[in-house]
Amino acid sequence: MADVLCLTPVRGSHRGVGHHGPVTRIVAGAAGGRRLAVPPKGTRPTSDRVREALFSALEAAAGLDGARVLDLYAGSGALGFEALSRGAVLATLVESDRAAVGVLRGNAAALGMAGADVRAAKVDKVLATTPDAPYDVVFADPPYALGDAELTAVLTALVGNGWTAPGTTVVVERGARSGEPDWPAPLTPVRTRKYGETQLHWATHGPA
């Protein structure tokens, strides 16, 4: 299946992760109902409603079994861990905030998912390197304050340094008042969906 990259966190109330702060949960799959700790500040969790819509669309398209997933600005890792719960074999979770990285690593340890690869680094530094293989799905949930030019630079590095390949799905989460991302070729916009104050912008890496 094609690679996908994602980013964002959720709320929930089942089995704990040994953390007494705010929590979210994995919606479905092998780890469905498991709770995830959320960084205490500076992170904007993706709502259950948005995550359910996102993953329903992904599973209706090509599914996540065997997928390699990239979760940028990962926060709690909710998107990457959700993908692993639903069959992905790898989720690379990129986060630079020190407190968020601590929570992210705690969630990875509590869940015991072998496919979780936590990268404590800035997104632009990671994307400046070349991966071992391209990803099928990419989630990007940058701070809403991230400028259009900075987002374009992130997307350009994705395609320019081999993080995507023909068939890769890229999903960018932005505020409802933000415009369409400036997708660099060969990324082609597919659709935009609005959920309250959140928009999901979808694109695919076109054929070679």
For residue 25, tell me if it sits in a domain: no
Number of domains in the chain: 1
| Residue 149: band (very low, low, confident or very high) from pLDDT cuts 50, 70, 90 | very high
Question: What is the model's pLDDT at position 112?
Answer: 92
The residue-averaged pLDDT of 92-114 equals 93
Question: What is the model's pLDDT at position 63?
Answer: 86
For residue 22, tell me if it sits in a domain: no
Structure tokens at 126: 């990671």
The residue-averaged pLDDT of 148-164 equals 97
The residue among 139, 87, 140, 74 whose CA lies nearest residue 115 is: 87
Question: What is the model's pLDDT at position 144?
Answer: 80
Question: What is the model's pLDDT at position 40?
Answer: 76
> pLDDT higher for 94 or 39?
94
For residue 33, tell me if it sits in a domain: no
The model's pTM: 0.87
Q: CA-to-CA distance for 47 and 39, rounded, in angstroms?
A: 15
Question: What is the model's pLDDT at position 47?
Answer: 73
Q: What percentage of residues in the chain have a pLDDT greater than 90? A: 68
The residue-averaged pLDDT of 162-167 equals 98
Q: CA-to-CA distance for 116 and 93, rounded, in angstroms?
A: 7
For residue 180, tell me if it sits in a domain: yes
pLDDT in tens, 29-49: 999 999 999 987 655 666 778
Residue 17 pLDDT > 50: no
- Which residues lie closer than 8 Å to 146 by C-beta, 6 or more apart? none
For residue 23, tell me if it sits in a domain: no
Residue 203 pLDDT > 70: yes
- Give me the CATH number covering residue 114: 3.40.50.150
For residue 167, tell me if it sits in a domain: yes
Question: What is the model's pLDDT at position 202?
Answer: 97
For residue 76, tell me if it sits in a domain: yes
Domain span including residue 103: 3-10+42-205
Question: What is the model's pLDDT at position 94?
Answer: 98
Name the 3-class secondary structure at 175: strand
For residue 20, tell me if it sits in a domain: no
